Amino acid sequence: MQKQEALERLHKIDQDIKHLDQVSALLQWDQETYMPSAAVEGRSEQLALLEGIKHEKFTDPEIGKLLEQLASDDKDLPDIERDFLRVFRKQYNRAIALPADLVTEAARAEGLSQAAWVEARKNNDYKTFIPHLEKMIGYAKKKAEYWGYSGHPYDGLLDIYEPGMTESVIEGVFVPLRDRLARLVQRIGEKPAPRSDFLSREFPVDLQAQFGEQVMKDLSYDFTQGRLDISAHPFTTTLGPRDVRITTRYFPQNMLSGLFSIIHESGHALYEMGFADHIRDTSLGDGASMGIHESQSRLWENVVGRSYAFWKGQYARLQGLFQSQLTDVSLDVFYAAVNRVQPSLIRVDADEVTYSLHVILRFELERKLFSGDLSVADLPEAWNTMMYAILGVRPDSDANGVLQDVHWSMGAFGYFPSYALGNLYGLQLWETLKAQNPNTERHIEQKNYVPVLEWLRSNVHIHGCRYEPGDLILRVTGRPLSAEPFIHYLEQKYGQLYSL
Amino acid sequence: MQKQEALERLHKIDQDIKHLDQVSALLQWDQETYMPSAAVEGRSEQLALLEGIKHEKFTDPEIGKLLEQLASDDKDLPDIERDFLRVFRKQYNRAIALPADLVTEAARAEGLSQAAWVEARKNNDYKTFIPHLEKMIGYAKKKAEYWGYSGHPYDGLLDIYEPGMTESVIEGVFVPLRDRLARLVQRIGEKPAPRSDFLSREFPVDLQAQFGEQVMKDLSYDFTQGRLDISAHPFTTTLGPRDVRITTRYFPQNMLSGLFSIIHESGHALYEMGFADHIRDTSLGDGASMGIHESQSRLWENVVGRSYAFWKGQYARLQGLFQSQLTDVSLDVFYAAVNRVQPSLIRVDADEVTYSLHVILRFELERKLFSGDLSVADLPEAWNTMMYAILGVRPDSDANGVLQDVHWSMGAFGYFPSYALGNLYGLQLWETLKAQNPNTERHIEQKNYVPVLEWLRSNVHIHGCRYEPGDLILRVTGRPLSAEPFIHYLEQKYGQLYSL
């Protein structure tokens, strides 16, 4: 077979797999939004069938033969094809590396583990979860061995979520970040808390939706290529090359929650909507990493959405919609409330300053679990002790401590760091963007977010996953991964807010 | 391979195909309800991929080998398995009968034909559609040859929609039905039209939806296993063993349209929801035929939903919701308006009396097109002449005449008869039901539709497509297909309404 022919065939296979993923995404979207309750069992069988078909397509020996004919470093091929081959080959190698028995066995154990976690959390009974967590760690270690790694086994897992990232690189930025964040939180804690009583007033849900949708339009979210719906947990999902949908949920007495979920998910969606046309329906049409994806959602949610400039532009409209609720609340008071810092037990409820500390805690515990320095039985005590050390709060229960997240019960180790890396990448990008566009703040004040989006589009979105996150950040910002811009941003912003 | 093993394997294949159909149904449902507009191209690629996967699974030579081991008349097998084998074998034989070239070629021509029909209808330009329609008839004839038939080629097409049905059987009931219906319409036309001005008053859409959903609940539509949504054209679709959704659309100035679509589609949905548990996720979990499906939707829509007893039970609530619109409208006046007979040009807008005449017209023209007694060029004139002869109206344009339906442009010949057969089956069933349940009317007056549903469930729904429509009707009513109960019902009902 000619090289060109082989490449075309590989692209066809790639597209079929992509389309199967999109179909599965629709099944899941529907399950979270509109599906009637009794349909859940049938839906999981449909998803399993598609998963099986995808696996069959992906592990077809034909792919191996095609890849043998096509070298990722073939100088005759255009850059984009070499990038495609690299990304496809990596996915393929990961798919075929694991013995089928292990995959089936681990999937079954995962199902049991998740069910056990749900029960353990409900009953605040960590002990019943111990054997499952031990098994999950065991499977993760085995998988890491099959996938291979150069440094620690943990690197083999990290690579799923952050291609090219290693434990030692993360450690190098997380440890100093932890100390400086903890100090910042402590200093803020010594100051009086800003007023925030008005946030728990009654905000009618239909008006919240109206405001949220207007913000989405302001952010250039394209409603001909997506939708906003309601689900128990907000998420973004891509159902086709021109179909990127988000969800949120509204609480009448917590207006900020629904709105900032909308901005966060819009950030994810704008990324997916921004892949170059010729890669969006291929394996390259994906986020560079979980961390880069989070950098986009968090940049829009926090750096833009919680900025003074943003609310200077948007607050009059918000006040217009919620006249009785916000009549006695000035822009400055609202801005301070939106950025209230409050150490708390639950990661997903954490503010911009404390959030990364929740993540670093998980990273440190994961490492110890994988190096053997911490046993599963001793995990809750280690969690609680570290929580108190870095955030000054101590869980009242394991349900509100070590059992709060679903990730470990699913064997998703190495995932957590991406959340905090997103903050770091985001501020590195933001610093560069601002240096190149000094009028950014003024534009945001005028509700003109186009320059920010355009910059992110042409520097980040358009590339999809052509570059690994480390390369992308270096390429765009001229610097390797660094926590400096993030911590600098926080110290400046919260220094002002809390008169530190 | 052991017989039992072969059967289990076949069931697994059958279930996979069923699940793929369900997934495709979700993709289509989403496309008609919530999908963003720009996603349409990607969606059609996803659907084509699934179609290809399904075709691959269905034409796997393994199936042929399994079927060789398993005889449909094997007395060692339970009845249900023999029925399964018969239905599955028939589907399989139909799928493999056509040469791949013909399928591809016909599918492409079908796409062009549908597009040409859309244009021709829009421009009222039948001539441009002629070559496409000729091609569609040609492909249909070819397919019928491959599938085989005992009498006329048209029987080979009928069998897709009405297994076991033949042209001569239909002719035997349709011709006398046509004459008696035409006479009834004429007699009604000599009487003054009932008052119906109030139907075009403004009925707020949200109240229409509220009433429609309540009616669905009254009819025992199970919202844990389905939903009501809005789409351009009402439809029912089954997305899983416990997921049967319907759609409608509302017109503020035509309250009856949205409501009767809801009742009609609920009739389809109740059928699908009523398949026995052990067959619902198999090939047997399907309507016995298009006509039997229509019998269910039309029975609920017309025989129940347009009955005096129904409105005696429901009218107070409707009047309560639409006080200003219906304050001057008594139950009797409303009932008469709901059943107004008015010969018109468009099938889908036709009333209960004239509807079947629209269908019979199409059946007679289809037969002539297939026997060669009518050329495609002469079709419009034949249409208009027959329309005038049986309904007393003459199309002002081909757009409102021969070009009004999508079916022929898709090559779906032999489909139309099912609509009228549905009326006949429905009244045959209804006559038997009433004979066995003399209190039916009183129950309906009390908004208690459970006895009707229970009877349909245990006599019709539960069997899925285990029996061919002719066998099912004979089995349940003790009589073969007959138009008598239908025409008798109409003559009685409309004799009273119009004082004939």
As beta bridge partners, residue B246 has B228, B236
Q: Among candidates A312, A316, A306, A188, which has minimal Cα distance to A256?
A: A306
Among A105, A131, A148, the domain-final residue is: A148
**Using CB atoms, which residue from A27, A37, A38 is nearest to B26?**
A27
Whether residue B363 contacts residue B168, with contact meaning beta carbons closer than 8 Å, is answered with: no
Do B158 and B207 lie in one domain? The reply is yes
Catalytic residue among B162, B167, B265, B366: B265
Pairing of strands B243-248, A236-240: unpaired
Q: What percent of chain B has pLDDT over 70?
A: 100
How many angstroms separate the CA atoms of A433 and A461, rounded?
14
Mutate to test the interface with A, among B17, B22, B32, B216 (most CBs of A within 10 A): B22
Q: Do A243 and B35 touch (CB under 8 A)?
A: yes
Q: Report residue B282's pLDDT band, with 50, 70 and 90 as the boundaries.
A: very high
Among B67, B97, B127, the domain-final residue is: B97
Range B294-319 average pLDDT? 98
Residue partners of A91: CB distance under 8 A and separation at least 6: A58, A283
Res B371 pLDDT > 80 = yes
Q: Do B42 and A22 touch (CB under 8 A)?
A: yes
Give the per-residue SS3 of A143-167. Answer: HHHHHCCCCCHHHHHHHHHCCCCCH
pTM for this prediction? 0.95
Quote the strand ranges of B68-176, DSSP E.
Answer: none
How many angstroms separate the CA atoms of A386 and A378, rounded?
12
The model's pLDDT over A339-348, given as tens digits with 9 standing for 90+, comes to: 999 999 999 9
Mutate to test the interface with A, among B33, B41, B46 (most CBs of A within 10 A): B46
Do A305 and A369 lie in one domain? The reply is yes
CA distance A286 to chain B (A): 16
Residue partners of A447: CB distance under 8 A and separation at least 6: A218, A313, A314
B361: number of Cβ within 10 Å: 21
Residues of chain A positioned with their CB less than 8 A from the CB of B50 = 23
Do A478 and A332 lie in one domain? The reply is yes
Do A300 and A248 lie in one domain? The reply is yes
Do A308 and A441 lie in one domain? The reply is yes
As beta bridge partners, residue B248 has B230
Q: Among candidates A52, A21, A23, which has minimal Cα distance to B22?
A: A23
Do A38 and A54 lie in one domain? The reply is yes
Contact map slice: A 34-73 vs B, CB within 8 A: 34-39, 41-43, 45-46, 49-50, 53
Residues of chain A positioned with their CB less than 8 A from the CB of B22 = 42, 46
Range B171-184 average pLDDT? 96
Res B72 pLDDT > 80 = no
The model's pLDDT over B4-54, given as tens digits with 9 standing for 90+, comes to: 999 999 999 999 999 999 999 999 999 999 999 999 999 999 999 999 999
How many angstroms separate the CA atoms of B245 and B272, rounded?
10
Cα A159 to Cα A72, A95, A254, A405, A466: the distances in Å are 19, 14, 37, 21, 15
Range A372-382 average pLDDT? 97
Residue partners of B257: CB distance under 8 A and separation at least 6: B249, B250, B251
**Arithmetic mean of pLDDT over chain A:** 96
**Terminal-to-terminal C-alpha distance of chain A:** 68
Phi-psi region of A164 (alpha: psi -120 to 50; beta: other; left: phi over 0): left
Q: Do A239 and B39 touch (CB under 8 A)?
A: yes
How many angstroms separate the CA atoms of B277 and B242, rounded?
10
DSSP state of B39: G
Residues of chain A positioned with their CB less than 8 A from the CB of B23 = 23, 27, 46, 49-50
Element at B281 (helix H, strand E): none
Return the residue of A nearest to B37 by Cα. A224
- pLDDT for position A1: 65
How many angstroms separate the CA atoms of A133 and A411, rounded?
8
Please state which of the ranges A471-485, B93-107, B168-182, B222-236 shows the lowest mean pLDDT.
B93-107
Please state which of the ranges B68-82, B218-232, B477-491 shows the lowest mean pLDDT.
B68-82
Mutate to test the interface with B, among A13, A17, A19, A230 (most CBs of B within 10 A): A19
Res B427 pLDDT > 80 = yes
∠ CA B24-B28-B30, rounded to 5°: 115
Residues of chain A positioned with their CB less than 8 A from the CB of B30 = 26, 30
Range B72-93 average pLDDT? 92
Q: Do A225 and B42 touch (CB under 8 A)?
A: no
- pLDDT for position A194: 97
Q: Do A243 and B43 touch (CB under 8 A)?
A: yes
Torsion of CA A269, A275, A278, A284, to 10 degrees: -100
- pLDDT for position B1: 65
CA distance A285 to chain B (A): 14
**Arithmetic mean of pLDDT over chain B:** 96
Residue B45 burial by Cβ neighbours in a 10 Å radius (0-12, 13-18, 19+): middle
- pLDDT for position B104: 87
Q: Among candidates A262, A346, A347, which has minimal Cα distance to A301?
A: A262
Say what the ipTM of the complex is. 0.94
How many angstroms separate the CA atoms of B449 and B452, rounded?
5
Q: Do B34 and A227 touch (CB under 8 A)?
A: yes
Residues of chain B positioned with their CB less than 8 A from the CB of A36 = 223-227, 242-243, 245
How many angstroms separate the CA atoms of A267 and A296, rounded?
5
* A177: phi then psi, degrees, rounded to nearest 5: -60, -45
The model's pLDDT over B337-348, given as tens digits with 9 standing for 90+, comes to: 999 999 999 999
Residues of chain B positioned with their CB less than 8 A from the CB of A216 = none
Whether residue B452 contacts residue B304, with contact meaning beta carbons closer than 8 Å, is answered with: yes
Q: Report residue A60's pLDDT band, with 50, 70 and 90 as the boundaries.
A: very high
- Per-residue burial over B409-434, b if 16 or more Cβ lie within 10 Å, else e, is bebbbbbbbbbbbbbbbbbbbbbbbb
Q: What tokens appear for A159 in the block? A: 């690579």
Q: Provide the edge-to-edge strand list for the sheet that holds B243-248.
A: B228-230, B243-248, B236-240
Mutate to test the interface with B, among A15, A16, A27, A228 (most CBs of B within 10 A): A27
The model's pLDDT over A138-171, given as tens digits with 9 standing for 90+, comes to: 999 999 999 998 888 899 999 999 999 999 999 9
**CA-only gyration radius of chain A, Å:** 23
Residue that wins the pLDDT comparison between B95 and B451: B451
Range B102-125 average pLDDT? 93
**Using CB atoms, which residue from B43, B49, B242 is nearest to A38?**
B242
**What CATH number corresponds to the domain at position A297?**
1.10.1370.30
How many angstroms separate the CA atoms of A84 and B159, rounded?
49
Range A34-43 average pLDDT? 95
Q: Does B392 touch chain A (CB under 8 A)?
A: no
Res A72 pLDDT > 80 = no
Do B190 and B302 lie in one domain? The reply is yes
Task: Name the one residue in this structure whose structure tokens are 């309750």.
Answer: A37
Residues of chain B positioned with their CB less than 8 A from the CB of A34 = 34, 227, 229
Residue partners of B108: CB distance under 8 A and separation at least 6: none
Range B243-249 average pLDDT? 97
Do A130 and A180 lie in one domain? The reply is no
Q: Among candidates A484, A183, A140, A217, which has minimal Cα distance to A354?
A: A183
As beta bridge partners, residue B229 has B247
How many angstroms separate the CA atoms of A152 and A168, rounded?
9
CA distance B245 to chain A (A): 9
**Using CB atoms, which residue from A38, A49, A240 is nearest to B43?**
A240
How many domains, chain A? 2
- pLDDT for position B151: 84
Do A258 and A144 lie in one domain? The reply is no
Do B89 and B192 lie in one domain? The reply is no
Distance of CA A143 to the CA centre of its chain: 23
Do A256 and A393 lie in one domain? The reply is yes
Whether residue A305 contacts residue A325, with contact meaning beta carbons closer than 8 Å, is answered with: no
Q: Do B243 and A53 touch (CB under 8 A)?
A: no
Report the SS3 class of residue B141. Answer: helix
Q: Does B471 touch chain A (CB under 8 A)?
A: no
Whether residue A66 contacts residue A10, with contact meaning beta carbons closer than 8 Å, is answered with: yes
Contact map slice: B 195-254 vs A, CB within 8 A: 222-227, 229, 239-243, 245
How many angstroms separate the CA atoms of B310 and B447, rounded?
7
Residues of chain A positioned with their CB less than 8 A from the CB of B35 = 243
Mutate to test the interface with B, among A242, A245, A277 (most CBs of B within 10 A): A242
The model's pLDDT over A418-454, given as tens digits with 9 standing for 90+, comes to: 999 999 999 999 999 999 999 999 999 999 999 999 9
Report the SS3 class of residue A460. Answer: coil
- HSE on the CB side for B448, CA within 13 Å? 7
Q: Do B39 and A227 touch (CB under 8 A)?
A: no
DSSP state of B408: G
**CA-only gyration radius of chain B, Å:** 23
Domain of residue A114 covers 3-148
How many angstroms separate the CA atoms of B238 and B243, rounded?
6
Do A131 and A263 lie in one domain? The reply is no
Among A114, A130, A148, the domain-final residue is: A148
Q: Is B265 a catalytic residue?
A: yes
The model's pLDDT over A380-394, given as tens digits with 9 standing for 90+, comes to: 999 999 999 999 999
Helix axes A290-298, A417-436, angle to 10 degrees: 60
Residues of chain B positioned with their CB less than 8 A from the CB of A245 = 36
